[in-house]
Structure 1
Amino acid sequence: MSTNVESYMTTETQIQHDTGVDESLNPKTDDGRTVGPIDYIFMWIGDGVNLGNMTLGASLIAAGIATLNLVQTMAAAIIAIGIISIIFALNDRLGYRTGIPYVVQLRLSFGLQGSIVSSLLRGIPAIIWYGFQSWIGGTALNEIAKIVTGGAFDSVAICFVVLQLVQIVLSLYGFHAIKWVESLTSIVIMLALLYVFGVLLTSHSEVITEKWVHAQGSWGLPFFAFIMMFMGNYAAIFLSAADYSRELKTGISDAKRGFLYFLPILVAYGATLTIGGMLASATGISNPVKAFAIVVDNSYITLFVSAFIVLGAVAVNMVANIIPPTYVITLLTKMKFKPAVTITGLLGLVSFPWVLVQDSSAKGLGIFILIYSAFLGPIVSILLIEYYVLRKQKVNISDLYKENGPFSGFNPCAMLAMLIGAGAAFIQVELAWIIGLVVSGIAYILLMKYTFKDSKFKKGTIFEK
């Protein structure tokens, strides 16, 4: 982008506070950005090192049979992480340069009313993940309580509720809490996982080698399906990339921001996927918390590991699953940030996360990821095409905040393209994300060019008359 355009963008982001939305949704100024590159790396390590991602690794072992062996798993992971990092750096650019959040970015393609539907498609999966991570953390907290009380206390439900209430309190402090929680937990959890890796390697290497490392696996549909599941796991996060990049200090190039995603995701996912697969191979149990208790047959060590499982659940929720739905609630209800973040936590309590993962299989988690990613792939495709292809990265930010401005109402082209892409994705649900991404992108360009000739959403695009 040229210097003139940069100046234009800066001028247009001086939004007044009478926009009809809570001030938390207004563009972030340079002074309001408190997250540096190192903090950003720790944030994404903290997000990636969690039991949900470990369960994704465990999902490769179903009924004692590995669908992918170790080499295939790592190859799929590296391919997925590379694609994720590129999309992250592309989709975070508008938020990074202008300071707007994802729910406002959506207005560019979908319109003010249309953005309600697309923002809910991001917010609802985040709330379910919020509940799932809290339930996993509650399971670990219950293991701690059983050890401390000598078995007198045993209630995952109570621990789940307690942990959720703690997270609600922490989340009231926004990104200030996220910075210190992530920096603390990411380092300590990685150390704990390295210990567990050592235990598995020394005590269970034969069964892991037999069931996973030397498994036949597949380079066919299961291999590509795992890449899609992996990317689907991140689809919701890189879709709302603006929510994170708007907190990052200015002056960082696109390439460097891509590296700030690639490195921590590679480290975090490499550790969690490997240990998840090893645990499931060694025990036949897909719930990592219960598998830990079997593998680490020492109450003090179990207490230590369980404590950091709890911290891991809190860490990932603080980054990925609290802020996006809170912004959605703030946008839809005009609530202030603190009441909205409290409601987000309460909704996580009633998300029934225990349905996704049973002791014998984590297949439910994989199905959940594939289904919602069928909708998120199309949305990210529409956002990228809108910004880079149709508008050539030129956006009047102040127009996005005008209730009766050029983005009021909804863009029928974006809504139809999203539905077409999602419909195509369900034809082959294992490849839902990539199918939805490609089909919706093509559909959006064609719809914007050939249909709804008088649509105001064509103004400022390459299809403007």
Structure 2
Amino acid sequence: MAKDNTPNAEAEVKENASLKPLKDEERSMGWGSYTMLWLGGCISIGTLTMGSAQLDKGLNLMQIFLAVLIGSLVLIVGICLNDTFSYKTGAPYAVQLKSAYGTKGSVIPVMIRGLPAIVWYGFQTWLGGSAINQISIALFHYNNVWLFFFVFQAIQILLSIKGFQGIKWVENVGGVVIVAAMFYLLYICVSKYGGVIHNNLGTLKPTWGIPFIAACIAFFGNSTTVMLNAGDYSRELRRGYSAPKRGASYLIAMVPATVLLGIIGAMASTATGIANPINAFGTMVDNVFIKVVVLAFILFAQMTTNLASNVVPPAYAFMDAFHMKHKTAVILVGILAVCTCPWILTNDASAAGLDVFVKIYTAFFSPIFAVLIVDYYILHKRHFTDDQLSDLYAENSSRAGINWAAIIATAVGAVIGLLNVNLSFLTATVPTGLIYYFCMKKMPSCKAFRKGTSLERVDTE
């Protein structure tokens, strides 16, 4: 049969192969675009909301600043550790998991990563639709938040279908708008409400115990989702960038923006008493033009974060687990995001619940992260041969089935983390790594998974 070389056939082949390792010529991003991708991905209204959620802990402004800073720096260390596998091999997170969890066992952690992304996708799409609605009210006196919610979601789905090319364009444009608007939001808070903010936040007696540690974990957990699947992004970065250069990209993109957003969220909530950032800034700004600019920032922030952080992971998960095409997976993720009822999650009363939700999924993410790090750095010594990588894709892979060492370690780590969700990353990560290593070394069922690792000698002794 003759080979079909039509454009449609080539597009279908490319779509079906999107989980395959990216070759050098297929990587779409340079260092600048990659930095803008991470900038857009970390700037979200969720971070603003997390800032306001810390007020219930009794923290003052300096403590909130330090909590965001510490949480962000820990996150960057995690990203730098976990982006290497995919940067070197070109394989995504869903494939990376197969090495430790097995071809069937990997479905569990990949879905655990996908669920919070879908929830955040819906949450931020509703806020984006609300921002469009507020712009419509300000300019045209037309109020229809449901219409704009679905229109905004449709736009995001169409951009997501284009893959990283569509995401790259939005991130490069949105990043410039976001940075400018973010500084203006800070200016509004300080110039118009500086006295109120100082009295309510600046003079509080500091509490350096569990509440402060919990705040650090909360800000770390707010973006820990991207720490797990950092490889989905690093595989798009062109070759030639060392770990320090990639780390510099994360530092520049994420730390200043996250710190500013956390502080701005706390300031806005203190000034107005409103947890929902859109409603808060709506009351803080009375000039129509300025209000439109602020709302445009909120709109871009939702779109950049959703496209970079909340669409790719669950889409790849569905593609891998259910052998879906990219287009079908993206549309399904968009539908499921609507089904999370984000109009409830964005209520003022939901801010504290959102904080708890972040801490709970962090309790599951920390063990998965620990398993991946031990598997790559200790068991594989940071080296995957072409044959080992091909094995992860093979139907008769040596990693076929479920690696119970990884499942047991993750389950135990999650239980430890859930005992105190405020400290989950501190308490669960190291025990999970140790349990995984010793289970891999001692469990007979792990023999196939020891192949090609530093523990392979166990089966020859």
Structure-2-length-normalised TM-score: 0.93
1:53 & 1:172 partners in 2: Cα distance?
A: 26
Is the deviation greater in 431-440 or in 119-128?
431-440
Percent identity of the aligned residues?
38
The answer on 1:27 being equivalent to 2:21 is: yes
Give the deviation of 1:88 after TM superposition: 0.7
1:130 matched to which residue of 2? 121
1:59 partner letter: A
2:447 matched to which residue of 1? 455
For residues 174-185 of structure 1, the aligned pairs below 5 Å read 174-185=163-174
2:201 matched to which residue of 1? 212
2:439 partner letter: L
Is the deviation greater in 194-203 or in 219-228?
194-203
1:69-107 residue CA offsets vs partner (Å, 9 max, x unmatched): 121122222222222111111110010001000000000
1:38 matched to which residue of 2? 32
- Contact in 1 for aligned 2:405/2:446 (Cα 8 Å): no
Q: Which of 223, 226, 230 is equivalent to 2:212?
A: 223
The answer on 1:71 being equivalent to 2:62 is: yes
Give the deviation of 1:270 after TM superposition: 1.9
1:436 matched to which residue of 2? 428
Give the deviation of 1:157 after TM superposition: 2.5
Give the deviation of 1:359 after TM superposition: 2.0
1:324 & 1:214 partners in 2: Cα distance?
A: 42
Structure 2 residue runs of 5 or longer lacking an equivalent are 1-12
2:405 partner letter: C
1:290 matched to which residue of 2? 279
For residues 4-403 of structure 1, the aligned pairs below 5 Å read 22-62=16-56, 67-150=58-141, 153-360=142-349, 362-395=351-384, 396-403=388-395
2:36 partner letter: F
Give the deviation of 1:299 after TM superposition: 2.2
2:184 & 2:243 partners in 1: Cα distance?
A: 36
1:86 & 1:259 partners in 2: Cα distance?
A: 11
SS at match of 2:358: helix
1:316 & 1:252 partners in 2: Cα distance?
A: 24
Structure 1 residue runs of 5 or longer lacking an equivalent are 1-18
- Contact in 2 for aligned 1:111/1:407 (Cα 8 Å): yes
1:324 & 1:50 partners in 2: Cα distance?
A: 17
1:129 & 1:376 partners in 2: Cα distance?
A: 16
Task: Sort the Cα spacing of 1:454 and 1:421 in 2 relative to 1 into closer, same or farther, 3 A.
Answer: closer
The answer on 1:422 being equivalent to 2:414 is: yes
Give the deviation of 1:231 after TM superposition: 1.5
1:404 matched to which residue of 2? 396
2:134 partner letter: E
Cα-Cα RMSD: 1.6
1:4 matched to which residue of 2? none
1:161 & 1:90 partners in 2: Cα distance?
A: 38
2:225 & 2:118 partners in 1: Cα distance?
A: 11
Give the deviation of 1:461 after TM superposition: 2.1
SS at match of 1:25: coil
Q: How many residues align?
A: 441
Give the deviation of 1:412 after TM superposition: 0.4
Is the deviation greater in 74-83 or in 33-42?
74-83
Is the deviation greater in 243-252 or in 188-197?
188-197
Give the deviation of 1:454 after TM superposition: 5.6
- Contact in 2 for aligned 1:357/1:363 (Cα 8 Å): no
1:8 matched to which residue of 2? none
2:58 & 2:431 partners in 1: Cα distance?
A: 28
- Contact in 1 for aligned 2:344/2:350 (Cα 8 Å): no
Is the deviation greater in 332-341 or in 124-133?
332-341
SS at match of 1:212: helix
Task: Sort the Cα spacing of 1:386 and 1:83 in 2 relative to 1 into closer, same or farther, 3 A.
Answer: same
1:152-186 residue CA offsets vs partner (Å, 9 max, x unmatched): x3333322211111100111111111111111111
